[in-house]
Each structure stands twice: as C-alpha cells, then as structure tokens.
C-alpha cells in the first residue's frame, strides 16, 4: 500500500497550501454535501412576537465523561417563550449536522403543538456545527470530542439546567423532535436518558449503523423510477454505464471532455474514478432526498432532452457542476475540503469524521439494483477516513466502532417508549430506519424530513393523518405522566 502513504503526504502538502488561501467558494463536493446534510426544510414563520425569540448560549463541558477535564465551551440555542406558562412542558427541536435557524421555533407543526400546550420552545445546536465550537479548531486532536454520546450529554445538561432555572419548570415535561441524524439523536436520547424526555418525534431517523450502506442508492433509484419513470431510470443507468465503459477502454479523455473535467483528473487512477462516480450518484441522491412535487420530474425531463443516454445524463450534470472553466472532481480535491480544520461553513470534515468514528453509512455502488454504476466501492470512503483523520482509522477500527454504536443503542430495536417514527417513502435514508408499519409511519410519495410544516391543504391524506397522530400522542404523553401530575 505504498501508494497510500505517498498520497497521504501529497494530501498533507496540499492542505497546507489551501489553509493559506483565505475565503473560497464552495466546491462542487461541498455544495452537493450541503444539500444532502442541510437543516430539515424550516417551516414558514407564523409567530408574530419576534421579541420572544432569542439566540442564547449555555456553558457545556468539553468532555462530559472525564471528571478531571475542566475545559468548557458555549453551546448555542434559540428559545421562544411566547406561549410559556409556569408548569407547562418544554418543546425542544434538536439540531443535527447543520447551523440552527429560527424556523422551528416560529412555525410548523411542532410549533403549533407546542402552542396547544403553552410550551416553551427551544432549538439546540449540535457541538462542532453552526457556531457551537468547543475547540479553537478541528485538528485531529481537537475533533476527538465530537461524537453523539457527547452531544446527547450536552442535551441532558441543557434540559437539567432549564428545569432548574426557569420559573415553574422544575418538573417540566419534555417533548423532543428531530429530523435525519437529529431524529436518531432524539431516539437515542430517550434510551439513555428516559427520565429527561417524556416523548419524541423522530422524522427520517437512521438507527442502524452500517459501514456499507448500499441500500441507499437502491432506494434512490427506486424513487427515480417511481416518480420520474422507467425511461429516465434506464437513461441514467445506461449513460453512466457508457461512461464507465469509455474509461475502461482507454477512451476516458472523451468523458473528461464531455464533463469538462480539469486536467488534474487522472482517468487511470482508481481514486479519481471512484470520486467522480460517487459525486455523480450523490447529485442524483440530492434530487431525491429533497424532492418536492415536480422536482424529480423536472430533472428527468432535462435528462430526456439529450440526444443519447450519455449526452442526456452529462447535460444535466453540467447544470449542477456550475460555471467554472473546468470541473475539479479529483480525489485530492475532495480530500482537500476535509483537511481544512478551521471552523467555516463547510461541514464535511465534521460529518465524515462521525461516519468514520461511529456510523459508517457509506452510500456505495455495491448493489446491482441501482442505476449509478459500479465505481464507488466502500474502499473509497475507508481510504478517506485514514487519509483525513490518521492511521488510527483502519478498516478494522471503523468496523468495530460501528458495531459498538449498534451495541450501545440497539440498532433497529432501540427498545424505547413514546417515540413516534415517521419516514417518507421516497427517502433513501429510510432503509436504515424502522420500516415495520406497526412501529413507524411511512408517508407515501414524500422525501426526507418533509413532514415538519404546519398542517395545510397541501398535505396528502396520509401526511395529514401522521401529523394529527403526533399531536394526539403528545396529548396522551403529557396527560398520562403521573409523576408530573402529582407535582402540580
């Protein structure tokens, strides 16, 4: 594996150079990544009382599990007390791998349920994301304090502190909500700290940690076929297969020309090929994950405009790559984004670290039941872990860490009470969540985290029923908490 060492050195040298350049535009990789890891679409604001909405900070321990570690940091959160009456519950929307914004404390279904119960609304920011920075940078030493157990302990301290300091809140019931990774968090919080949360809504929660998450691209393909049609699916499959075949037959220069790849792209280097095809599949995943009515259909129309399969697919991809004179899609380029350990708007370094250290969830081309080809094996992502975060991240280490995550949280059998699980049928992430219809609600034809808006005439019957079910569950959870009723 000497090429690996050489590559690591090369990458390190490259990172030094890029650290010197000040502000830079987001790369293609960063833009796609941001689309896949954005804040769940914030609801339309309904609140009229902006004065009640505040960005605040709470002191947290750097290491919640080491008594002798005394360093602390300021975690950001947003609060809205416009409905609060003493003795009422807390409604906490939990932040995941994104920057928090006011959407979830000023509108949407969770806000309306909080209003019904005179609840105190909060939105917490996850350590290392947004502006919640526990350390001065994220170098390999400092990033060690980023993991879900630390983040759940931050949330536990947050709830204890609010109960202790807000008038009439010492026995406050707590309703949590989260989307995507933060839905995973609310489920696991309920498991580790059952006395600190009364109930929770987990929308689109992946619960089973898995290194090779090949099912993700299978569901992505199924959703394209279902919504965009068979011809679109086939064209994507054939167009990508033709690109692979050109590379395999020493005609890679033709693909480089069609996709306007920069000269640095080495068509004989596996890591460059894997990076390119991984990125192409992620662009399609972004379309599916964020789908609203008409979105997949529009992309498919664009793809079907091309004369041939390959030109149809390439024509669409070029609209997504942007307007640079050439497109920088090498392995070295994707690694460079993640070698930068300063806190900026890029969240790739943090999230990929969490995948290497806790979850896996690499969305590979291992399955033949998906249209994105064969060229993004799990080794691409495992190589990244080692190249970015150090030799400690061997394959064996990653496999063991992922197993430990399932051991601790129970995977698809979290064994928690009072958690309402919802998924969108089109959402590729649902393959790592609870699919049993008696334990979770799968809303037909919706994508990832699309159920947070207020109940509206635009909801399908199933979407409306799911939102009403959550509202009813909260009534039951809050009414049936005998300890808090005694305290009144």
Tell me the window of 62-70, 72-80, 238-246, 303-311 that interacts with ligand NAG (CB under 6 A). Answer: 62-70
Tell me the window of 61-69, 116-124, 254-262, 297-305 that interacts with ligand NAG (CB under 6 A). Answer: 61-69
The answer to whether 438 contacts ligand NAG (rule: CB under 6 A) is yes
The answer to whether 417 contacts ligand NAG (rule: CB under 6 A) is no
CB 138 within 8 Å of CB 351: no
Residue-wise DSSP of 48-87: S-GGGEEEEEEEEES-TT-TT---EEEEEEEEE-TT--TT
The Cβ of residue 136 has, within 10 Å, a number of other Cβ atoms equal to: 11
CB 135 within 8 Å of CB 168: no
The nearer residue to ligand NAG, 28 or 463, going by C-beta atoms, is 463
Tell me the window of 244-252, 271-279, 431-439, 462-470 that interacts with ligand NAG (CB under 6 A). Answer: 431-439
In sequence order, the 6+-apart residues with CB closer than 8 A to the CB of 357 are 147, 389, 393, 398, 401
The answer to whether 116 contacts ligand NAG (rule: CB under 6 A) is no
The nearer residue to ligand NAG, 436 or 482, going by C-beta atoms, is 436
In the range 440-459, which residues lie near ligand NAG by CB under 6 A? 453, 456, 458
The answer to whether 48 contacts ligand NAG (rule: CB under 6 A) is no
- Closest contact distance (angstroms) between CB of 136 and ligand NAG is 16
Size of the site for ligand NAG (CB under 6 A): 9
The nearer residue to ligand NAG, 258 or 454, going by C-beta atoms, is 454
Selection from 30, 100, 41, 90 nearest residue 334 by Cα: 30
The answer to whether 72 contacts ligand NAG (rule: CB under 6 A) is no
Helical segments of 167-269, H only: 181-192, 215-228, 230-248, 252-258
- Closest contact distance (angstroms) between CB of 9 and ligand NAG is 29
The nearer residue to ligand NAG, 69 or 344, going by C-beta atoms, is 69
What is the dihedral angle through the alpha carbons of 178, 449, 351, 100, rounded to the nearest 10 degrees?
-60
CA dist 449 and 462 (Å) reads 15
Residues linked to residue 440 through DSSP beta bridges, in sequence order? 421
Tell me the window of 169-177, 323-331, 425-433, 434-442 that interacts with ligand NAG (CB under 6 A). Answer: 434-442
Apex CA 291: angle with CA 309 and CA 109, to 5°? Answer: 175
Cα radius of gyration rounded to whole Å, the chain: 23
The nearer residue to ligand NAG, 323 or 438, going by C-beta atoms, is 438
Which residue of 25, 436, 486, 488 would you call a contact of ligand NAG, by CB under 6 A?
436
Mutual angle of helices 28-36 and 331-339, in 10-degree steps: 70
The nearer residue to ligand NAG, 116 or 413, going by C-beta atoms, is 413
- Closest contact distance (angstroms) between CB of 445 and ligand NAG is 15
The nearer residue to ligand NAG, 140 or 342, going by C-beta atoms, is 140
Instruction: Look up tokens 């061997």; give the residue.
Output: 394
- Closest contact distance (angstroms) between CB of 135 and ligand NAG is 13
In sequence order, the 6+-apart residues with CB closer than 8 A to the CB of 232 are 224, 225, 300, 303, 304
Which residue of 54, 57, 69, 160 would you call a contact of ligand NAG, by CB under 6 A?
69
The nearer residue to ligand NAG, 292 or 485, going by C-beta atoms, is 292
Tokens of 328: 């920088």
In sequence order, the 6+-apart residues with CB closer than 8 A to the CB of 121 are 79, 80, 81, 82, 83, 91, 92, 93, 104, 105, 111, 114
Q: What is the DSSP letter of 459?
A: S
- Closest contact distance (angstroms) between CB of 453 and ligand NAG is 6
CA dist 112 and 114 (Å) reads 5
Which residue of 57, 439, 468, 476 would you call a contact of ligand NAG, by CB under 6 A?
439
The answer to whether 415 contacts ligand NAG (rule: CB under 6 A) is no
- Closest contact distance (angstroms) between CB of 458 and ligand NAG is 4
- Closest contact distance (angstroms) between CB of 66 and ligand NAG is 4
The nearer residue to ligand NAG, 306 or 453, going by C-beta atoms, is 453
Selection from 114, 125, 97 nearest residue 43 by Cα: 114
Which residue of 68, 249, 325, 415 would you call a contact of ligand NAG, by CB under 6 A?
68
The residue ranges that bind ligand NAG (CB under 6 A) are: 66, 68-69, 436, 438-439, 453, 456, 458
């Amino acid at each position: 594996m000497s090429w690996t060492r050489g590559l690591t050195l090369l990458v390190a040298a490259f990172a030094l150079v890029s650290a010197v350049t000040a502000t830079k535009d987001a790369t293609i990789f960063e833009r796609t990544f941001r689309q896949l890891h954005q804040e769940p679409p914030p609801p339309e604001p309904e609140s009229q009382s902006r004065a009640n909405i505040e960005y605040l900070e709470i002191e947290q321990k750097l290491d919640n599990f080491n008594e002798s570690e005394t360093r602390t940091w300021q975690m950001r959160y947003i609060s809205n007390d416009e409905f609060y009456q003493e003795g009422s519950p807390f409604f906490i929307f939990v932040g995941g791998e994104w920057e928090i914004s006011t959407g979830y404390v000023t509108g949407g279904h969770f806000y309306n349920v909080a209003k019904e119960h005179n609840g105190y609304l909060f939105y917490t920011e996850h350590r290392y994301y947004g502006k919640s920075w526990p350390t001065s940078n994220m170098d390999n030493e400092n990033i060690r304090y980023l993991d879900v157990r630390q983040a759940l302990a931050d949330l536990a301290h947050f709830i204890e502190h609010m109960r202790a300091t807000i008038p009439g809140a010492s026995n406050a019931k707590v309703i949590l909500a989260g989307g995507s990774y933060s839905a995973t968090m609310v489920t696991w919080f309920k498991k580790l700290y059952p006395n600190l949360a009364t109930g929770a809504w987990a929308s689109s929660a992946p619960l089973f940690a898995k290194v090779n998450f090949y099912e993700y691209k299978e569901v992505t393909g199924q959703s394209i076929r279902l919504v965009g049609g068979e011809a679109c699916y086939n064209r994507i499959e054939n167009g990508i297969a033709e690109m692979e075949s050109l590379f395999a037959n020493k005609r890679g220069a033709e693909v480089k020309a069609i996709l306007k790849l920069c000269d640095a792209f080495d068509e004989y280097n596996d890591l460059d090929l894997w990076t390119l095809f991984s990125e192409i599949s992620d662009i399609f995943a972004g379309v599916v994950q964020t789908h609203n009515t008409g979105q997949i259909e529009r992309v498919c129309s664009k793809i079907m405009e091309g004369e041939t399969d390959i030109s149809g697919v390439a024509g669409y991809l070029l609209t997504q790559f942007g307007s640079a004179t050439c497109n920088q899609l090498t392995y070295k380029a994707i690694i460079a984004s993640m070698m930068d350990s300063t806190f900026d708007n890029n969240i790739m370094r943090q999230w990929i670290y969490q995948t290497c250290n806790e979850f896996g969830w690499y969305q590979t081309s291992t399955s033949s039941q998906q249209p994105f080809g064969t060229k993004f094996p799990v080794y691409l992502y495992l190589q990244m872990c080692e190249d970015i975060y150090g030799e400690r991240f061997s394959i064996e280490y990653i496999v063991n860490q992922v197993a430990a995550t399932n051991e601790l949280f129970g995977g698809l059998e979290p064994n928690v009470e009072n958690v309402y699980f919802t998924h969108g049928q089109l959402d590729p992430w649902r393959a790592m969540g609870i699919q049993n219809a008696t334990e979770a609600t799968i809303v037909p034809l919706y994508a990832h985290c699309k159920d947070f808006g207020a109940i509206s005439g635009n909801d399908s019957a199933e979407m409306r029923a799911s939102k009403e079910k959550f509202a009813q569950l909260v009534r039951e959870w809050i009414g049936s908490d005998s300890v808090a009723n005694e305290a009144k």
